[in-house]
Amino acid sequence: MSRIRQLLAGGNAWWHHLPLSDRRRCILMSVLVPLAALTAYDARPRSEKFEALASGLTDSETTAVRGHLEDRDVPYVLLDGGQTVMVPAEHRAELTVELTQLALVRGGLYPSPNTTASLAVHESVTRGAIDLEGDGSGRAQVHAHGASEQ
């Protein structure tokens, strides 16, 4: 216990020996560094799990679904030449109900559960592309806030 007291006394003496401007810098840095680390952690790229909203769509159905998703600002991925629409898993149930109520899609809703894909989203505002993990199919089109079409 005496060793801890010696360390605290030495730290206290060192702190009071510093000029006031240096002490202020230390206090400022002790607040800003953790805040910057927290901001960087929160802004990190995240993996989102996308699930198929509809598959086997015609061009007109795909256009209608895309319009609805863009109106709602929901990111989506088109696969199979635009015949399959993937959305984040947390939006799928609600969007399925909406598409059914709006009658935007006649068939193709309720795709098989095997059509889910874990997508590592590396959103690039200028490129708008994502890589599929473990799928081997390479690239797909992604449409999100600020992403450009390919």
Query: 61-118, pLDDT tens digit by residue?
Result: 888 889 999 998 888 888 888 889 999 888 888 998 888 887 766 654 544 444 444 3
Query: Residue 127 sits in a domain of what CATH number?
Result: 3.30.70
**pTM (2 decimals)?**
0.45
Residues 113 and 137 in one domain: yes
CA-based nearest residue to 59, from 90, 35, 33, 85: 85
Q: Kindly state whether residue 150 falls inside one of the protein's structural domains.
A: no
Q: Kindly state whether residue 128 falls inside one of the protein's structural domains.
A: yes
- What span, in angstroms and rounded, lies between the C-alpha atoms of 86 and 97? 15
Dump pLDDT digits (tens) for 73-89: 888 888 888 889 999 88
At 130 the pLDDT is 42
Residues 59 and 33 in one domain: no
Residues 100 and 57 in one domain: yes
Residues 7 and 60 in one domain: no
Residues 119 and 69 in one domain: yes
Residues 10 and 74 in one domain: no
- What span, in angstroms and rounded, lies between the C-alpha atoms of 150 and 141? 7
At 104 the pLDDT is 65
Residues 85 and 130 in one domain: yes
H/E segment holding residue 32: helix 20-42
Q: Kindly state whether residue 148 falls inside one of the protein's structural domains.
A: no
Structural domain including 27 reads: 2-42
Rg (CA), the chain: 26
Q: Kindly state whether residue 149 falls inside one of the protein's structural domains.
A: no
- The total number of structural domains in the chain stands at 2
- What span, in angstroms and rounded, lies between the C-alpha atoms of 62 and 71? 14
Residues 20 and 69 in one domain: no
